[in-house]
Structure 1
């Protein structure tokens, strides 16, 4: 749920936005001075260390099973409440991931992309506008989100195929030909999956990715402000929390992510923390944001033999 006009603190940013960029008209004014890439995790203050060390009790097994069972319903309710107004369009993807332009073997090659966890299309529609020689498969856990994608005036079946999919249970090959995808984007998606099922999602993605194809990843990083602001009653497991609306979020260390991809058969190309400060000038608040930005490739036939 987005912040109301009367809310003036950053407290709810810790539990509400499932992604890093919010676009609600009611959102408090923020400015982002810049970001830094680093291989080292953010160093915590003593106060932050004390806060994390005090988190011992976990949400009950019964509630955790209920959250897993109702995960799709909770995401669908999120999009029912916020429709297409919550997140900003991601015009930064081609800047951060040059592969979206540079991975073609020749200039006129049609790039085939899979946006895994497309939401309402904040990533795919800027790409479709910017690059006329691209075809996008777009899937999301939420049927309501997929309907918003299909209703967008920019949606064109000749250039985009949107479908509902649970990456952990539904075979992507029902909608995407095996080994047909050049690039997969996983942007603020895997964090919403239970850690025990993340490998299933990556195995599913690997089946439709070409040998030599690449996965572009950006998601919540370890010790992000959102992680540190969760209350103790929200903890589901190590680095795993539930928001007030029932959606969940995992916060990745680069070591965990590298192991996850490598055990699923991928090779690491880049794997860095992105550090930046989000400033609320009106309130004089500055909070540290931490994301993990990574690239993994599926070995070619000659590499895996």
Structure 2
């Protein structure tokens, strides 16, 4: 199992046995419920403060160790999100995309290869990750601008004009941010989105296998854990994510659990995965009229 809880493996869309009918939420086994119930000890306040202080350093060290070899390129994004397909109607129309938390470019470079009518703003918390993006042979400043940014603090408008982005992506990014700072991150994205613009979201869902693998002593709070390398991961319920985006000014278009089995033939593993795949819209001006 990788540091992020993602297996180098094959996903099956068949679902898995212990599945709830309550809005698609996964139902736990008795053993899993007992494990979560008994995991009550939280990491000390001192250590939690240090993890927050060292968050950027820990992600920079992650990319120092793994360089560009850890994640696979995400060629699935255009299949899952119609908004990323090359479907602009008028010739010469460019889609302006913000990839928030771009890592080393596993999402942006497949998009740049597939679509000539796209411009991508790409930002990441880790300066090292941004440098890897800029060193990629496909990186071209005519079609992409990569920059370091702390979504919880920095103003995206330093690099992006207000209300100029058509689509923003948050793919396995928000879960790495402290829950107290998630709303501020979303509000920062809200400012650069055009009215009617959309955020495409995919991240860890409640009761994902990665959540249940954490041992006692790694819990930071409700559904929030720290990995061995100091990076952190939050696991979202559908209701929590709805509330978070709505408080930041967004409207919910789609917010659904995605239930999968991940198969790792090499290790003989078949485990239940839970993700949230969602779309949130910035209201257009007409929607504010009474």
Q: Same fold (TM over 0.5)?
A: yes
Question: Counterpart in 2 of 1:33?
Answer: 12
CA distance in 1, matches of 2:99, 2:197: 14
Q: Aligned to 1:54, which of 38, 50, 57?
A: 38
Question: Counterpart in 1 of 2:219?
Answer: 235
Paired residue secondary structure (2:275): strand
Question: Counterpart in 2 of 1:76?
Answer: 60
CA distance in 1, matches of 2:194, 2:85: 17
Cα deviation for residue 197 of structure 1 reads 0.3
Cα deviation for residue 19 of structure 1 reads 6.3
Q: Aligned to 1:258, which of 217, 232, 242?
A: 242
CA distance in 2, matches of 1:211, 1:157: 26
Question: Counterpart in 1 of 2:164?
Answer: 180
| Count of paired positions | 284
CA distance in 2, matches of 1:35, 1:241: 28
Structure 1: stretches of 5+ with no match in the other structure: 1-12, 23-29
Paired residue secondary structure (1:260): helix
Alignment of 1:1-305 (within 5 A): 13=1, 16-18=2-4, 20=6, 22=8, 30-34=9-13, 39-101=23-85, 104=88, 106=90, 108-305=92-289
Cα deviation for residue 107 of structure 1 reads 5.2
Q: Is the 8 A contact 1:165 1:172 kept in 2?
A: yes
Question: Counterpart in 2 of 1:25?
Answer: none
CA distance in 1, matches of 2:110, 2:256: 25
CA distance in 1, matches of 2:194, 2:14: 32
The change in CA–CA distance for 1:69 and 1:35 in structure 2 (over 3 A counts) is farther
Cα deviation for residue 264 of structure 1 reads 0.8
Paired residue secondary structure (1:72): helix
Paired residue secondary structure (2:24): coil
Cα deviation for residue 278 of structure 1 reads 1.1
Deviations 1:181-236 (A, max 9, x none): 00000000000000000000000000000000000000000000000000120000
Cα deviation for residue 102 of structure 1 reads 6.7
The change in CA–CA distance for 1:74 and 1:296 in structure 2 (over 3 A counts) is same
CA distance in 2, matches of 1:126, 1:213: 22
Q: Is the 8 A contact 2:255 2:279 kept in 1?
A: yes
Question: Structure 1 segments of 4 or more deviating over 6 A?
Answer: none
Deviations 1:121-166 (A, max 9, x none): 0000000000000000000000000000000000000000000000
The TM-score normalised by the length of structure 1 is 0.90
Q: Is the 8 A contact 2:253 2:281 kept in 1?
A: yes
Cα deviation for residue 263 of structure 1 reads 0.9
Q: Is the 8 A contact 1:19 1:188 kept in 2?
A: no
RMSD of aligned alpha carbons:
1.6
The TM-score normalised by the length of structure 2 is 0.94
CA distance in 1, matches of 2:272, 2:49: 32
Paired residue secondary structure (1:51): helix
Q: Is the 8 A contact 2:259 2:272 kept in 1?
A: yes
Structure 2: stretches of 5+ with no match in the other structure: none
